[in-house]
Structures are given as C-alpha cells and as structure tokens.
Chain A
Amino acid sequence: MRNKKLGTIFLVFFLLGLGFILFVPGKLSLQENRSLPPERIAPDSAAPVKDVMNPKIEYALGKLLDTYRTQGADRVRDFAAKRNIKLVGDRVRVVAESRYSKTTLKMLPTTLKIWPEAAVLKSQIQALGGTVEMTYNNLVQGWVPISSLEMLSLNPLVRYVRRPLRPHTTGIITSEGVQATGADLWQNLNPYRPKGGGVNVCILDLGFNGYQSLLGSELPASVTVKSFRADGDITGGGEVHGTACAEIVHDMAPNANLWLVNFDTDVEQHEAVDYIYNQGIYVVSYSLGWWNAGDGKGTGPIDRDVERAANGGAVWVSAAGNDALSHFEGAFNDPDNDQWYEFPDGSEFLSWWVPANEVTGAYLNWDDWGSWNNVSYRGSDQDYDLYLYYSSGGAWHLAETSADPQTGFQWPTEAIDGFSINRSTWWGIRIRKANATRNCKMEVFVAGNSEAINNNVPAGSLVAPADSGSAVAVGAVDWSDDSRTPYHTYSSQGPTHDNRIKPDFSAPARVSTSTYTTLGYWFSGTSAATPHMAGAIALLKEKTPYSLEQVIKILEGRAVDLGDPGKDNIYGSGRVSLKKK
C-alpha cells in the first residue's frame, strides 16, 4: 500500500516535470546562460559556405538579387526588412560609384570639375527603369529595379554598386551642462569687439522632428531649415535627435543663429556640406558617427566633408562615438590554421549579450584600405568575411553572412545589421580569412550590446569623422561632479589609427532637454556632449574678437583636466569649461 502511494506521488511529480519541460521550454532548456556564451556551433551552422557573388555588387544587394530570382517578390520584402534594405515596390535604393576619371574643364573665370561617367550612369539608371535622386562627384544615388542590379553592375563605367552608407546617432537624451561649463556666466556679457555679425551654427543631423513647437522657447524664434534628404523631410521620418542637439546649442549660446540641416545618406551629406560651405557657418555641431567609413586615420569620404567645411571657415565639432564598450581590434590570429580568427580569449567567437527585441549587428573593417585620393580608397585585395550568430539552446546558430569579395577595389569592410529576436541572448561573430595574403588588423564595432562585449578593446573606438585632424572630437562625461569618476564608460576613446590623441575635449552628457525629457529620457551620449562643445565655441566667438583657432586654444587652456595629466585619449584636454582658470 505504502509502495503504491509512493509510486503515485513519483508519477505525479514526473508528469508535472515533463509537462513543464515540454510546454515551457524557454524557461528551462532554452534559457541562455548569461554568464557565458555557448561553446558549440549548431550542426546546421558548422561550416558556412561562401556564395560566389558579383564582386561589383555589395554582398547584401547580391543576396537580395539572388532571393528575388530564386524565391520571388514576397521573400525579397522579408529579406530586405531583415537586412535594413530600403525598397519601394521592386526597386532598391543604391549608390552607384563610377570610376573616378575626373575631368577638369578650365572655363574662365572658374574651373569646372565634372565626372562624365556619373552623368552616363544617371542616364543608364533611368533607362533601366530607375530614378536618380542625386549625384555627387562620382556617386549616383537612386532607386533601381532589383532585376536590373546585375545589368547596372555590368556597365564598365561602374566601379561598385552598394547601399547608401548611413550614419548612426551617438546617444539619446538635456541641459545642466550650461552651468557646469560656466556658459551662463558669459551669456549676459556684452561682446567685446566681435568680428562679423551673429555666430552661425549648423546642426547637421538626421532629423528635427518637433522643432517648430520649440521656436521662441527652447530654440530661437526663427531658424534656417534645409533638408538634403531625397524626400525633403526635415523631420527625418520622425527623428528628434537633431532637435535635442539644437536645444543644447541654444542653451549654451542663446544668440547664435541656427541652421538645422538634415540628411540620410553619405551622398546627401556631401551635398549638405557643399551648402554649409556657402552659408558663412562658423560651427558645425555633428552628433553622428559612421562605422566602416574610413581607415581611422582621418581620411575617407566622411572625413573629407569635415576638411571641406574647415576650408569654408567652419570648425566641425564631432561626437567621438558611444562605442568604447562595443569595440574590438586586433591583428588576425589563427593558430590552428582553420582560417577562423581566434580572439584573445581563445574563442573563435566575439560575443555579446543583447536584450530581447534589441536590434543588433556588427561592422568589420581591416587595415587594407589602400591610398586615399580625396574621392575613394584604392581598395582592398585582402578578403575577409563576417558571420553573425545568435545563441539558442546553448549553441550558436548562423543568422547571416557578409562576404563581399575583396578583389582589389572594394573597401575592406563587411557589415551585418538589423537583427533582433524576442528574447535576451548571446550574439556573436566569427571572422574568416577568405582570401588574404597577410594577417590584417581587424576592427569590429557591435550594435545593440547591453554591456561590454567580450574581448572589448576601448582604445581606438572613435567613429568617423571624429578621427579627422580637422574635427574637434568630443567625448562624454557626467555633468554633475568632476570630483567623482565623470567618465561615461561608453564614450569612445582614442588614439586614431595613426596614433593621434583623440578626443580633443570631453563635455557634459546625461542632461535634460525638452525634447527627450518629455519622452522620459535624459539626453546622454557623445551626442549630448557635442552640442555643448559647439555651443561653447559659438558663445566665445560671439563675445570676443578671437579667431576660431584662438577660441579652441583658449578652451584647451580652460578645460578641466581629468584623468591622466595633460591631453589624453579618454578626456582629451579635459571637460570643456568657460570659467576663469
């Protein structure tokens, strides 16, 4: 009797346990171990095979074309949504780079430089059923039918067909920084022999949603607004980031004239800088950053824009980036000769933890950019590929591959972004040496990680164009108290890849703005720090007769030195201050 009772109890507990395992799998067997990433690869992800792709078409676009041909239009939309590729109907947004045989026509009184190939490309895109949004030098941005991508790439004038590059915002969050920097002490001071009229500051950003409602209160009563987006949308699709940045510039320098200029792609930014060049802008506040857009030595098309603005008399204040905890770099290392990079911790995976529904991805570049000729890089013949995995059931599963074939003219970059799943888990990348004769130095930026990535290397985590020699790069510190540890650990660090000290300054972050406070956020990140610096420059320029170079020198002298004595790769010259020293 007693044995029967024990048997019944055992049976009940067994059935309850089995049911729990079967019906709530995510709570037990599939729950990821947060302390450690997986060590094994799922069988179906063990040996990813590199597809043979058209080298003149970016890998993601090639896969889109392949999906279009083999799986039809519905699956193309799924694929495009997953890979963050913009589609309208069956047309995809691309940038076609022509070969750069710039022709110079000397027509007095001016010299006209034209890219004849770009003009031909424009006609061809239209002939293929596409539309052209804009051209800039050798770049033609437009919408091309997916089915015509191959045809477009076959044109000998085409160097490369890619998605438009897009910057990312460098933070979210308002401003106690005015008092912290001492800007309030200067605001009511009568100017002493200021040169020129008012100080013109351009906030170059992705979007200025809601700026109209702030005119005359959080922003000046009137501002100049200009959109370089192909669709002319100054809100940038509802983006408030630029509005919050403009608020801080106005908080710091209330008399500055503000230009709110937005764009969405690299080509549009080049156009915007042409415009800025002719507007008598003194200061450009740029709270954006780019991954995979240059060699980290101050060259590349985005850095070139900074130089052009500087040639027009503007100082470009650039966010250092929020990537100190999501950055890795190191020379390719493969002790077991299996072509897979072995990271410093001995794993072939670079892994990071991602909260549920957070969008994640990774950007890889290596030091084989070739020479920079002010238009593009010569390109890379060292081919490495990038593989993105997610963890499930204690094993790695392949999510996506980026395998552009670097055959001599493509950039040394691979990127996979726009992935998310509805539970927190580990994500990881592997890097494969596909066809390379030397072990290049790899650099990885990760998006979406909630804490430092494994094998994290904070040094050298600057984004473009903060690495430009013409940019004033700004890191983030807490506004509240210099005596505590003010460094915001996410704030990107120097040096540049050619060993220059960056950032140049640090400035307050985690501050209040009307824009973000109403949404329930502080404004944090180097995005918030940058307009404080831009505002400080504008305020000193407005109140004094100093040149911009002298203003920067004075601010260097007044900066509150933090960290190592002197200028360093975390705080630059220190936290910006206008107070008497």
Chain B
Amino acid sequence: MKKILVLCGAVLALTLASKAGIRVGLFGGYASHLESYQGNGIAFGLNFGLDLTSNFALELRSARFQSGVKGSKTGLSKGTLTMMPVEICLQGRLPVGDKLVPYVALGGGYGLNTFDLDPGLLSDWGNKGMTIEESIKNGLTILFGLGVDFAVMPGPKSNQGLFLNLEARYLMNKVSGAWSLTDTATKTVASDTLKGLKLDAIMVGLGLKYSF
C-alpha cells in the first residue's frame, strides 16, 4: 500500500507541476484470466493521465475485477478471485487526424489480490469437521496495452476534449499463496504453499476520458 501511495503521489506531483494536458477517465470492460480455471469477470476502473509530449503520456490507473475460479488441484480452489492492480504506464501515442489517437502502453505496478473460497466448498468440508483456508499474496505487475482514443467532443486543442477510449491490455501478475486443511477435532493440519501462481489476464475495456 505504501508503494502505491508513493506511486500515486509521484504522478500527482508530476502532473500538477506540469503545464501539459491532464486526462481523467473511467472505464469498464471484461477481463479474462489466461489460466482458464481462474475464470472471467467484469472489470472497471479509473485512470489519471498526463501528456508529456504530443506523442508520450504517463498514465496512472487502477482497475478492479472479480472472477469465479472453478478450482484446480494445483492452483486455487473453487472461489472468487479479486484483483486490483494499481499501475503506471508510459503511452506512445500516434495521433491520426484530429480525432483518432491510437497508442501503445507499457508499464507496471502492484497488484492487490484477494481470494475467497466458495461458501459451498467451505460448508461441504465444514460438515466433515474440516476447515480449509487459502490465501494469495499481492505482487508486482507488468502490463502491455494497445488502445485508441476517439474524440467525441473535441476541445480547443487537439489533445483536449471528451474522448471515447477502447483498450486491450495484457496484465502479468505472478504471486505466491498458501493453503491448509485442518481437522478441527484433532487439529491435524495439511498445508503447503502455492508457488509461482500465475494470475495473468487480458482485459478489454471501453471508457470515457476527459482531457484538459
């Protein structure tokens, strides 16, 4: 969290110190994990951007998405995976005409992850006198993205106004975790770590940005 606050603070300070354009936006979309058992889910988030030059911009963004994990013998069990990556990325922007700005993005950040076991699964094992616990850690993320901003209400300058944004991004997030099964009567525990757990996802989103 501390890292995220530092990151946000740095970008905000940079933005306020700059005379360049500032962008704020929100988006919604759909995220799909590359490990099929981890499922898919609706994603939404906010972004805050700063035009460094006419071809480069810096963007701070955060998204949140949830997916229903089907369960795996070696990965996560059945449950709900919630990811909230907070990232900063550099955009290379290539305006085409007055309204269209395609861009590529490369960046990284920190993923806040939580995993909740399926209540039915907990109940099944609870009825057998056993408790299951699973957790995953937060971890660094890397992202690649492709997108396009389309000016729906152009402003006085070419990079100002209201933009419709379409973006696809690939998010890499490798974390570790842990699981345990405990017999409540005898306190007998079987446990292990989940190493190298890949939570990679592709996210496709549609958003609105206001640039001033």
A126-134, A139-147, A171-179, A188-196: which lies at the interface:
A188-196
Q: Kindly list chain B residues whose C-beta atoms are within 8 Å of the C-beta of A558.
A: 129, 185-186
B55-78 interface code vs A (CB 8 A; 1 in, 0 out) = 000000000000000010100010
CB of B179 within 8 Å of the partner chain: yes
A78-86, A265-273, A544-552: which lies at the interface:
A544-552
CB of B132 within 8 Å of the partner chain: yes
CB of A581 within 8 Å of the partner chain: yes
CB of A247 within 8 Å of the partner chain: no
**Across the interface, do B125 and A553 meet the contact criterion of CB distance under 8 Å?**
no
Q: Kindly list chain B residues whose C-beta atoms are within 8 Å of the C-beta of A192.
A: 77, 125, 132, 181
Q: What is the total of A-B residue contacts with beta carbons within 8 Å?
A: 55
**Across the interface, do A189 and B181 meet the contact criterion of CB distance under 8 Å?**
no
Q: Kindly list chain A residues whose C-beta atoms are within 8 Å of the C-beta of B192.
A: 193, 545
Once the chains are docked, how many angstroms separate the CA of A27 from the CA of B5? 105
With contact pairs A193-B179, A194-B73, A557-B183 given, residues A550 and B128 touching in the complex (Cβ less than 8 Å): no
Closest A residue to B190 by CB, please name it. A545
Once the chains are docked, how many angstroms separate the CA of A189 from the CA of B183? 16
Once the chains are docked, how many angstroms separate the CA of A546 from the CA of B125? 14
Q: Kindly list chain A residues whose C-beta atoms are within 8 Å of the C-beta of B179.
A: 193
With contact pairs A185-B128, A192-B125, A581-B129 given, residues A556 and B181 touching in the complex (Cβ less than 8 Å): no
CB of A68 within 8 Å of the partner chain: no
**Across the interface, do B73 and A554 meet the contact criterion of CB distance under 8 Å?**
no
Q: Kindly list chain A residues whose C-beta atoms are within 8 Å of the C-beta of B132.
A: 192
**Across the interface, do B190 and A550 meet the contact criterion of CB distance under 8 Å?**
yes
A175-205 interface code vs B (CB 8 A; 1 in, 0 out) = 0000000000110011111100000000000
Once the chains are docked, how many angstroms separate the CA of A194 from the CA of B132? 14
Q: Kindly list chain B residues whose C-beta atoms are within 8 Å of the C-beta of A190.
A: 71, 124
Q: Kindly list chain B residues whose C-beta atoms are within 8 Å of the C-beta of A5.
A: none
Closest A residue to B78 by CB, please name it. A190
Closest B residue to A189 by CB, please name it. B124
Q: Kindly list chain B residues whose C-beta atoms are within 8 Å of the C-beta of A557.
A: 183, 185-186, 188
Closest A residue to B127 by CB, please name it. A580
**Across the interface, do A580 and B128 meet the contact criterion of CB distance under 8 Å?**
yes
Q: Kindly list chain A residues whose C-beta atoms are within 8 Å of the C-beta of B185.
A: 554, 557-558, 580-581
Q: Kindly list chain A residues whose C-beta atoms are within 8 Å of the C-beta of B129.
A: 558, 579-581
Q: Kindly list chain A residues whose C-beta atoms are within 8 Å of the C-beta of B128.
A: 185-186, 189, 578, 580
With contact pairs A192-B132, A544-B190, A581-B129 given, residues A554 and B183 touching in the complex (Cβ less than 8 Å): yes
**Across the interface, do A546 and B127 meet the contact criterion of CB distance under 8 Å?**
no
Q: Kindly list chain B residues whose C-beta atoms are within 8 Å of the C-beta of A556.
A: 186
With both chains docked as a complex, state the minimum distance between the C-beta of B121 and any C-beta of chain A, in angstroms. 8
Once the chains are docked, how many angstroms separate the CA of A544 from the CA of B71? 15
Closest A residue to B77 by CB, please name it. A192
Query: Which listed residue (A194, A546, A578, A579) contacts B188, Cβ 8 A?
Result: A546
What bracket does the count of chain B residues touching chain A fall in? 10 to 19
Once the chains are docked, how many angstroms separate the CA of A546 from the CA of B179? 13
With both chains docked as a complex, state the minimum distance between the C-beta of A122 and any C-beta of chain B, in angstroms. 49
Q: Kindly list chain A residues whose C-beta atoms are within 8 Å of the C-beta of B181.
A: 192-193, 544-546
Once the chains are docked, how many angstroms separate the CA of A26 from the CA of B10? 112
Once the chains are docked, how many angstroms separate the CA of A580 from the CA of B127? 7
Interface residues of B in 118-133 (CB under 8 A from A): 124-125, 127-130, 132
**Across the interface, do A553 and B73 meet the contact criterion of CB distance under 8 Å?**
no
Interface residues of A in 192-231 (CB under 8 A from B): 192-194
A537-581 interface code vs B (CB 8 A; 1 in, 0 out) = 000000011110010011011100000000000000000001111
With both chains docked as a complex, state the minimum distance between the C-beta of B86 and any C-beta of chain A, in angstroms. 32
Q: Kindly list chain B residues whose C-beta atoms are within 8 Å of the C-beta of A544.
A: 130, 181, 190
With contact pairs A189-B124, A580-B127 given, residues A553 and B190 touching in the complex (Cβ less than 8 Å): no
Q: Kindly list chain A residues whose C-beta atoms are within 8 Å of the C-beta of B127.
A: 185, 580
Interface residues of B in 165-212 (CB under 8 A from A): 179, 181, 183-186, 188, 190, 192
Q: Kindly list chain B residues whose C-beta atoms are within 8 Å of the C-beta of A581.
A: 129, 185
Once the chains are docked, how many angstroms separate the CA of A547 from the CA of B188? 10
Closest B residue to A544 by CB, please name it. B181
Once the chains are docked, how many angstroms separate the CA of A578 from the CA of B184? 13
Q: Kindly list chain B residues whose C-beta atoms are within 8 Å of the C-beta of A194.
A: 73
**Across the interface, do A554 and B125 meet the contact criterion of CB distance under 8 Å?**
no
With both chains docked as a complex, state the minimum distance between the C-beta of B20 and any C-beta of chain A, in angstroms. 53
Q: Kindly list chain B residues whose C-beta atoms are within 8 Å of the C-beta of A554.
A: 183, 185-186, 188
With contact pairs A186-B128, A557-B183, A580-B127 given, residues A193 and B188 touching in the complex (Cβ less than 8 Å): no
Once the chains are docked, how many angstroms separate the CA of A558 from the CA of B184? 10
With both chains docked as a complex, state the minimum distance between the C-beta of A51 and any C-beta of chain B, in angstroms. 58
Q: Kindly list chain B residues whose C-beta atoms are within 8 Å of the C-beta of A578.
A: 128
Closest A residue to B128 by CB, please name it. A580
Query: Which listed residue (B124, B184, B186) contacts A553, Cβ 8 A?
Result: B186
**Across the interface, do A550 and B73 meet the contact criterion of CB distance under 8 Å?**
no
Closest B residue to A185 by CB, please name it. B128
Once the chains are docked, how many angstroms separate the CA of A193 from the CA of B77? 9
Q: Kindly list chain B residues whose C-beta atoms are within 8 Å of the C-beta of A189.
A: 124-125, 128
With both chains docked as a complex, state the minimum distance between the C-beta of B77 and any C-beta of chain A, in angstroms. 7
Closest A residue to B132 by CB, please name it. A192
Q: Kindly list chain A residues whose C-beta atoms are within 8 Å of the C-beta of B186.
A: 553-554, 556-558
Once the chains are docked, how many angstroms separate the CA of A410 from the CA of B127? 56
With both chains docked as a complex, state the minimum distance between the C-beta of B21 and any C-beta of chain A, in angstroms. 52
Once the chains are docked, how many angstroms separate the CA of A25 from the CA of B179? 80
Once the chains are docked, how many angstroms separate the CA of A145 from the CA of B129? 63
Closest B residue to A547 by CB, please name it. B190
Q: Kindly list chain B residues whose C-beta atoms are within 8 Å of the C-beta of A191.
A: 73
**Across the interface, do B190 and A546 meet the contact criterion of CB distance under 8 Å?**
yes
Once the chains are docked, how many angstroms separate the CA of A547 from the CA of B189? 10
Once the chains are docked, how many angstroms separate the CA of A557 from the CA of B188? 10
Once the chains are docked, how many angstroms separate the CA of A579 from the CA of B192? 25
Once the chains are docked, how many angstroms separate the CA of A546 from the CA of B130? 12
Q: Kindly list chain B residues whose C-beta atoms are within 8 Å of the C-beta of A579.
A: 129
Once the chains are docked, how many angstroms separate the CA of A579 from the CA of B129? 8
Once the chains are docked, how many angstroms separate the CA of A189 from the CA of B128? 10
Q: Kindly list chain B residues whose C-beta atoms are within 8 Å of the C-beta of A546.
A: 181, 188, 190
Once the chains are docked, how many angstroms separate the CA of A580 from the CA of B185? 8
The winner among B125, B185, B188 for most chain A CB atoms within 10 A is B188
Leading 7 A-B pairs by shortest Cβ distance: A580-B129, A557-B186, A545-B190, A581-B185, A557-B185, A554-B183, A546-B190
Q: Which A residues form the contact surface with B (CB < 8 A)?
A: 185-186, 189-194, 544-547, 550, 553-554, 556-558, 578-581
- 7 CB < 8 A contacts A-B: A186-B128, A193-B179, A193-B181, A550-B190, A557-B185, A558-B186, A580-B127
Task: Given A191-B73, A544-B181, output 20 extra A-B contacts at Cβ < 8 Å.
Answer: A185-B127, A186-B128, A189-B124, A189-B125, A192-B125, A193-B181, A193-B192, A544-B130, A544-B190, A545-B190, A546-B181, A554-B183, A554-B185, A557-B185, A579-B129, A580-B128, A580-B129, A580-B184, A580-B185, A581-B129
